[in-house]
C-alpha cells in the first residue's frame, strides 16, 4: 500500500469532502472549516480545517461561538499530520479537552479474512430494527460500562435513525452468547469514496481474547467487498490496534478528539 497516497485520499474524500453520517445532520463548508451540525444524538464537530499560525486561533474561537449558540458539545478531530504544528496547544488554550488518541488504520478490504470464526456458543445477529439497536447499546454497556453520559442510549438512537432513513449506508451487527449481547459493531459507507468506516467492536470483559473482534471485522469485510468498497478505515484504540495490524491494517495517522462542552 502506498500509505502517502492513501492518506491523501483519506484527507480529501473523508475529511475535506465529508458527507453527513446521520440523517439528521448536515455538513457545511464555512470559511476555513468543514463541519457537521446535527441534533442531540448526532456527532457534531470539525472534520477539516485549512488554518495556519495566523488564522488558527480566530477559527477555533468562531467554532466555539457557533456550537455554543446551539447548545451543542462539539469535537475537533485533530490528526497528527494537521497544521500548524501547535494546533493541539491552541485547542487546549481555547478550552477544548483532549480525549484518548486513536490510530487511523486502513486496509484493502479484499485482502482481509472474510469468514468469521467465533467461539462456541456465540453467533452474529444482524441489526435491522429497534430491538437490534437496543442490543447494540446493551453490548456497548457490557464492554465499556455506563459512565452516566448516555452514550449507549445515543448510540442506539443514532443507529436506529440510520437503519430507518439511510439503510444502505450502514451495516450493524451484535455478537450474542445465548441471549446475552457481548459485542457489537457497525460499518458506515461513504458513497462516492473508496472508503467505509468500521466502528465499535468493544467486547464484554469475560469474552475478550476469544476472537470475537476479529470475527466482526471479517463479517464486515465480506460485505464491503460485495458492495465494491476498496478500503476499510478504523480509528483504532490501543486495545484493537495490535489485532488490526495482524489482520493487515496499516497506520496512517493519529487522531485525537478535542471536545468542547458549552
Domain segments of the chain as ranges: 3-103, 108-252
- pLDDT values of the chain reduced to their tens digit, one per residue, 262 residues: 999 999 999 999 999 999 998 888 999 999 999 999 998 888 999 999 999 999 999 999 999 999 999 999 999 999 999 999 999 999 999 999 999 999 999 999 999 999 999 999 999 999 999 999 999 999 999 998 876 567 888 888 889 999 999 999 999 999 999 999 999 999 999 989 999 999 998 999 999 999 999 999 999 999 999 999 999 999 999 999 999 999 999 999 999 999 999 9
Beta-carbon count within 10 A of 225 CB: 17
The C-alpha atoms of residue 143 and residue 40 are separated, in whole angstroms, by 23
Which residues, 6 or more positions from 127, have their beta carbon under 8 angstroms from its beta carbon? 133, 135, 136, 159, 163, 172, 173, 174, 184, 186
121: alpha, beta or left, given left = phi > 0 and alpha = psi -120 to 50? left
Say which CATH architecture domain 108-252 belongs to.
Answer: 3-Layer(aba) Sandwich (3.40)
Q: How big is the CA angle at 182 (ends 179 and 187), to the nearest 5 degrees?
A: 115
Closest residue by Cα to residue 200 from 150, 240, 145, 242: 240
- 94 touches 57 (CB < 8 A): yes
Global pTM reads 0.93
- 142 touches 204 (CB < 8 A): yes
Closest residue by Cα to residue 76 from 47, 99, 51: 47
Taking CA atoms, 162 is separated from 2, 113, 144, 157, 197, in Å, by 33, 27, 23, 9, 14
Beta-carbon count within 10 A of 10 CB: 21
Amino acid at each position: 500500500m502506498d500509505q502517502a497516497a492513501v492518506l491523501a485520499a483519506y484527507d480529501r474524500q473523508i475529511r475535506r469532502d465529508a458527507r453527513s453520517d446521520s440523517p439528521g445532520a448536515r455538513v457545511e463548508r464555512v470559511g476555513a472549516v468543514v463541519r457537521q451540525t446535527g441534533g442531540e444524538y448526532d456527532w457534531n464537530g470539525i472534520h477539516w480545517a485549512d488554518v495556519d499560525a495566523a488564522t488558527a486561533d480566530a477559527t477555533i474561537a468562531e467554532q466555539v461561538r457557533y456550537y455554543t449558540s446551539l447548545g451543542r458539545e462539539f469535537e475537533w478531530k485533530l490528526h497528527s499530520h494537521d497544521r500548524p504544528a501547535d494546533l493541539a496547544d491552541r485547542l487546549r488554550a481555547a478550552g477544548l479537552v483532549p480525549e484518548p488518541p486513536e490510530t487511523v488504520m486502513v486496509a484493502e478490504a479484499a485482502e482481509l479474512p472474510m469468514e468469521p470464526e467465533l467461539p462456541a456458543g456465540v453467533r452474529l445477529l444482524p441489526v435491522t430494527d429497534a430491538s437490534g439497536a437496543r442490543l447494540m447499546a446493551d453490548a456497548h454497556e457490557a464492554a465499556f460500562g455506563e459512565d452516566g453520559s448516555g452514550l449507549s442510549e445515543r448510540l442506539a438512537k443514532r443507529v436506529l435513525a440510520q437503519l430507518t432513513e439511510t439503510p444502505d449506508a450502514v451495516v450493524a451487527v451484535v455478537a450474542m452468547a445465548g441471549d446475552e449481547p457481548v459485542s457489537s459493531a457497525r460499518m458506515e459507507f461513504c458513497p462516492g469514496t473508496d472508503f467505509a468506516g468500521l466502528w465499535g467492536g468493544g467486547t464484554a470483559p469475560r469474552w475478550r481474547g476469544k476472537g470475537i473482534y476479529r470475527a466482526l471485522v471479517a463479517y464486515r469485510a465480506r460485505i464491503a467487498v460485495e458492495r465494491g468498497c476498496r478500503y476499510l478505515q478504523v480509528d483504532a484504540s490501543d486495545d484493537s490496534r495490535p489485532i488490526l495490524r495482524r489482520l493487515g491494517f496499516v497506520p496512517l495517522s493519529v487522531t485525537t478528539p478535542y471536545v468542547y462542552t458549552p
